[in-house]
Chain A
Amino acid sequence: MNGEYDRLRQLLLEQERGRMDALQDSVHQATARFERVPDLLAEDIERSMKDGSRSRLANVLSEATADSLEIAVRRRPQAVVNAVYPVIGPAIRRSLHDALRQMADDLDSALSDTFSPRALLWRWEAWRSGLPYTQVVLRHTTRYQVEHLFLIKPESGLLLGHLTASGLPELDADAVAGMFTAINQFVRDSVSTEGTESGIGSATVGGYRLVVSEGPDARLVAFVRGVPSSDFSTRLDELNEELHARHGSRLGDADVAGFDSASGLLESPQLDELNARGAARDDAARPSRRKFVWAALALLLLALLAYLGLQWQWSSQVDDMRAQFATTPGLVVSRLDDSRRGHVRVEGLMDPLATDPRAWLAQHHPKVRVDWQTRPFVSLEPALVQRRVAQTLGLPEAVVTPPDAKGVVRLAGSVPFPDWYRARATPTTTPGVTHVDFSGLAYPDKARIDAAILQIEALKIPFISGTVTPDVGWEDTLAQMGEKLQALERSGVASSIAFHMQTAGLTDEPGTLDQNRDLRQHRAEWLGSRLAAKLHPPSTIAVNQDAAFALPQSNRVPSAAVSVAPYPAPVTP
């Protein structure tokens, strides 16, 4: 039964079974193809990357990826930020770090250079050339040369490229690149606290500055001689980015593929480009530097000339002062210190009556400061003696002559009567003076007054011998004497001159001394009483008592006379 049933089923379902087997095969084939889809997709992507052409799948995936990313950013921005932060975080951090360091360097440089002599020179150059100060500073601070440029594979330290500036000796670039990588790793492992991404960013070795630019597939290291500009690190980063953009994933296996040239993936223009900016600034600065040297020399020469001029001027001033001091009577300079320009210290002796040299200095050298260290003394210089006599007598210096060889000082000229009178009455004991000759000293109308006095003193009232009785003719003589005295009084009023009269009696030889003394006393009193009635104040009259006791002289006749002496009229209030 079963066999028939199976045969019947086979007959009935044969056609359906064949279709089912075909469908099952088709399903198996489709499943197998589906399992190969990832491999096929990968092969397609790899093929497109190798060929450099973009396949349809790559285009679709790039569009879909871009759209997905855009949607993700729009819908869940925080999630995207968190996802990419580990990638861009270090880059942002480094960028900020570099910017802050550059700013700090600039600020530090600006502060440290602001008041330095070099900065002042640069400011002067900027003022002279009309260029901004910052440009001048950059011109001077960016002189450098990139002597070696290494492109190094970060992990292995293998050299991807190396350039050396012309004229420099060859070095084992592979070893240097490897050793730098080793030291970089050593430093990173030993001292770094920021994780594995950080390493040597820059270093200074003698006259070299090592500047490092880190890239994901290559590290660019520049050995710079001199001081690179503050933006050099940025420009090195730009070059590294350019190399990554140009070579892309080739950087990762470039060492495996090998290089056709000794410089590897680097090209000479890149080194020239890095050096060009420094050199351009250097070249631009060279003519200016030459001018600066000439300007500095000119400035130095001007400074030297100015110094010599000032020294000459000061020397002339000092000589002038020395000459003046040497010719100043009463000033003896023992030491003159002129070591400091504009300042003089004088030591010596100075007569108080000497002409004060400060007045002369104030007039001729007002800017010179003089310290005087002098001691007083009495000078016998004729001019000082002359001055001292004049000062003692209260007379103008002009009427006093310098002492002659014998020490005689002569007075000559006319002075007011009070001065004349006081000078005559003043005793003089001036050092260097043996005698003062007043004969040449006069006062206004002195000649006329002297003549009038002589006339008055020549008149004598005759007396009868042995008596106090006036002799014949006494009336006329007394009248004449009174008139002349009154005329003399009048003439003295204008010059404030008063007169003091003294009457004296004269006797002949006969008679005793007592008799003659009585006769002289009475005859003088007789005349004084008569003249007193004729005189007016401030004139005064007195009896000359000394004359009363004088010895009789043989040539004298019995008479009475008057002597006249002028004196300054008292000032009436």
Chain B
Amino acid sequence: MSSVSRKISLLGDFAVGKTSTVARSVRNTFSDSYLTTVGVKVDTKTLTRDGGDALRLVLWDIAGANALDQMRANYIGGTQGLLLVADGTRADTVTTALGLRDQANRLLGRVLPAVLLLNKCDLAGEWDVPPERIRELALQLPVFSTSARTGEGVEEAFLALAGAMANDAVNGPGRT
């Protein structure tokens, strides 16, 4: 059995629930305080692929921001997949997530496999992203409605991102 590692950057605006969304499904080694001190926290998650091979996802949870500054840009280096997180109750965070994706693609000079998590789906009454917008987003990248409270949609998002990265490795990266 062989194992492959992939670096995934978790991007999103402030307070969209990046850390809490993935907290349930990843292996936490370090304290969340690193997010406010160093600006990043690294967790891991292992997926078992169809052939029995292990896929180790090294998840770089980068402190929330609406743009990648120099420090965050350095943390992006070597990223092979993006886990974009937006707050479904704040439509503007979707735009921020897509903007962060574009900025990361420009920094790395390639189109990274990415999935978008529309978080807080359990707050249906406050939902701010219209279905048309979601359908429009789904044309660009896989979109998942997730809940940090219930863990809904998170595992599917990881599997989808793993699949996208596998395709990316086979077909070669796209150019920006």
Question: A: which residues have CB within 8 A of B?
Answer: 153, 155-159, 171-172, 174-179, 182-183, 185-186, 189, 255-260, 262
Q: Say whether B30 contacts A156, CB under 8 Å.
A: no
- Whether a CB of chain A sits under 8 angstroms from the CB of B151 is no
Q: How distant is B4 from chain A, measured CB to nearest CB, in Å?
A: 4
Given the known inter-chain contacts A153-B78, A189-B74, please indicate yes or no for A179 contacting B5, CB distance below 8 A. no
- Beyond A174-B5, A175-B44, 11 additional contacts (C-beta under 8 Å) are A156-B80, A157-B78, A159-B5, A174-B58, A178-B42, A179-B42, A182-B42, A186-B39, A189-B71, A189-B74, A259-B3
- Whether a CB of chain A sits under 8 angstroms from the CB of B174 is no
Q: Say whether A175 contacts B4, CB under 8 Å.
A: no
Given the known inter-chain contacts A158-B7, A175-B27, A175-B30, please indicate yes or no for A259 contacting B2, CB distance below 8 A. yes
Q: Say whether B38 contacts A183, CB under 8 Å.
A: yes
Q: How distant is A529 from chain B, measured CB to nearest CB, in Å?
A: 140
- Whether a CB of chain A sits under 8 angstroms from the CB of B144 is no
Question: When chains A and B are docked, how far (Å) is the Cα of A172 from the Cα of B57?
Answer: 12
Q: How distant is B94 from chain A, measured CB to nearest CB, in Å?
A: 27
Q: Say whether A175 contacts B43, CB under 8 Å.
A: yes
Q: Say whether A172 contacts B53, CB under 8 Å.
A: no
Total chain B interface residues with beta-carbon distance under 8 A: 30
Kindly report which residue of chain A lies nearest to residue B53, judged by CB atoms. A258
Q: Say whether B40 contacts A172, CB under 8 Å.
A: no
- Residues of chain B lying within 8 A (CB to CB) of residue A176: 29
Q: How distant is A32 from chain B, measured CB to nearest CB, in Å?
A: 27
- Residues of chain A lying within 8 A (CB to CB) of residue B70: 189
Given the known inter-chain contacts A171-B29, A175-B27, please indicate yes or no for A156 contacting B3, CB distance below 8 A. no
Kindly report which residue of chain B lies nearest to residue A159, judged by CB atoms. B5
Q: How distant is A39 from chain B, measured CB to nearest CB, in Å?
A: 18
Which of A155, A158, A185 contacts B5 (CB under 8 A)?
A: A158
Kindly report which residue of chain A lies nearest to residue B42, judged by CB atoms. A178
Question: When chains A and B are docked, how far (Å) is the Cα of A171 from the Cα of B42?
Answer: 13
Which of B7, B34, B41, B169 contacts A157 (CB under 8 A)?
A: B7
- Residues of chain B lying within 8 A (CB to CB) of residue A157: 7, 42, 58, 60, 78
Chain B, residues 1-41, CB within 8 Å of chain A (1/0): the string is 01111110000000000000000000101100010001111
Which of B2, B4, B75 contacts A185 (CB under 8 A)?
A: B75
Q: Say whether A156 contacts B79, CB under 8 Å.
A: yes
- Residues of chain A lying within 8 A (CB to CB) of residue B53: 258
- Residues of chain A lying within 8 A (CB to CB) of residue B78: 153, 155-158
Nearest first, the 9 A-B pairs at minimum CB distance are A156-B78, A178-B42, A258-B4, A155-B78, A175-B29, A155-B77, A179-B42, A172-B29, A174-B44
A-B CB contact pairs (8 Å), 13 listed: A158-B5, A158-B6, A158-B58, A174-B42, A175-B43, A176-B29, A178-B58, A182-B60, A182-B75, A185-B77, A186-B71, A189-B70, A262-B3
Question: When chains A and B are docked, how far (Å) is the Cα of A445 from the Cα of B79?
Answer: 136
Question: When chains A and B are docked, how far (Å) is the Cα of A172 from the Cα of B29?
Answer: 7
Kindly report which residue of chain B lies nearest to residue A158, judged by CB atoms. B5
Given the known inter-chain contacts A158-B58, A172-B44, A189-B71, please indicate yes or no for A255 contacting B5, CB distance below 8 A. yes
Q: A172, A175, A260 — which one has the most chain B CB atoms within 10 A of its CB? A: A175
Kindly report which residue of chain B lies nearest to residue A173, judged by CB atoms. B44
Q: Say whether B30 contacts A255, CB under 8 Å.
A: no
Question: When chains A and B are docked, how far (Å) is the Cα of A478 from the Cα of B79?
Answer: 159
Q: How distant is B79 from chain A, measured CB to nearest CB, in Å?
A: 7
Q: Say whether A179 contacts B77, CB under 8 Å.
A: no
Question: When chains A and B are docked, how far (Å) is the Cα of A185 from the Cα of B34?
Answer: 13
- Residues of chain A lying within 8 A (CB to CB) of residue B169: 256
Question: When chains A and B are docked, how far (Å) is the Cα of A157 from the Cα of B43?
Answer: 12
- Residues of chain A lying within 8 A (CB to CB) of residue B4: 255-259
- Residues of chain A lying within 8 A (CB to CB) of residue B90: none
- Residues of chain B lying within 8 A (CB to CB) of residue A174: 5, 42, 44, 56, 58
Question: When chains A and B are docked, how far (Å) is the Cα of A475 from the Cα of B74?
Answer: 158
- Residues of chain B lying within 8 A (CB to CB) of residue A182: 34, 38-40, 42, 60, 75
Kindly report which residue of chain A lies nearest to residue B41, judged by CB atoms. A179
Which of A159, A171, A186 contacts B38 (CB under 8 A)?
A: A186
Q: How distant is B23 from chain A, measured CB to nearest CB, in Å?
A: 14
- Residues of chain B lying within 8 A (CB to CB) of residue A178: 7, 42, 44, 58, 60
Kindly report which residue of chain A lies nearest to residue B56, judged by CB atoms. A174
Question: When chains A and B are docked, how far (Å) is the Cα of A403 from the Cα of B80?
Answer: 121
Q: Say whether A156 contacts B77, CB under 8 Å.
A: yes
Q: How distant is A190 from chain B, measured CB to nearest CB, in Å?
A: 8
- Residues of chain A lying within 8 A (CB to CB) of residue B60: 157, 178, 182
Q: Say whether B42 contacts A175, CB under 8 Å.
A: yes
- Residues of chain A lying within 8 A (CB to CB) of residue B3: 258-259, 262
Chain B, residues 71-111, CB within 8 Å of chain A (1/0): the string is 10011011110000000000000000000000000000000
Q: How distant is B172 from chain A, measured CB to nearest CB, in Å?
A: 11
Kindly report which residue of chain B lies nearest to residue A255, judged by CB atoms. B5
Q: How distant is A325 from chain B, measured CB to nearest CB, in Å?
A: 78
Q: How distant is B107 from chain A, measured CB to nearest CB, in Å?
A: 12
Question: When chains A and B are docked, how far (Å) is the Cα of A501 from the Cα of B170?
Answer: 159
- Residues of chain B lying within 8 A (CB to CB) of residue A177: 58
Q: How distant is A10 from chain B, measured CB to nearest CB, in Å?
A: 53
Q: Say whether A175 contacts B71, CB under 8 Å.
A: no
Q: Say whether B2 contacts A258, CB under 8 Å.
A: yes
- Residues of chain B lying within 8 A (CB to CB) of residue A175: 27, 29-30, 42-44, 58
Q: How distant is A176 from chain B, measured CB to nearest CB, in Å?
A: 7
Q: Say whether A260 contacts B2, CB under 8 Å.
A: yes
Q: How distant is B27 from chain A, measured CB to nearest CB, in Å?
A: 6
Kindly report which residue of chain B lies nearest to residue A261, judged by CB atoms. B2
- Residues of chain B lying within 8 A (CB to CB) of residue A189: 70-71, 74
Question: When chains A and B are docked, how far (Å) is the Cα of A189 from the Cα of B5?
Answer: 26
Question: When chains A and B are docked, how far (Å) is the Cα of A105 from the Cα of B12?
Answer: 46
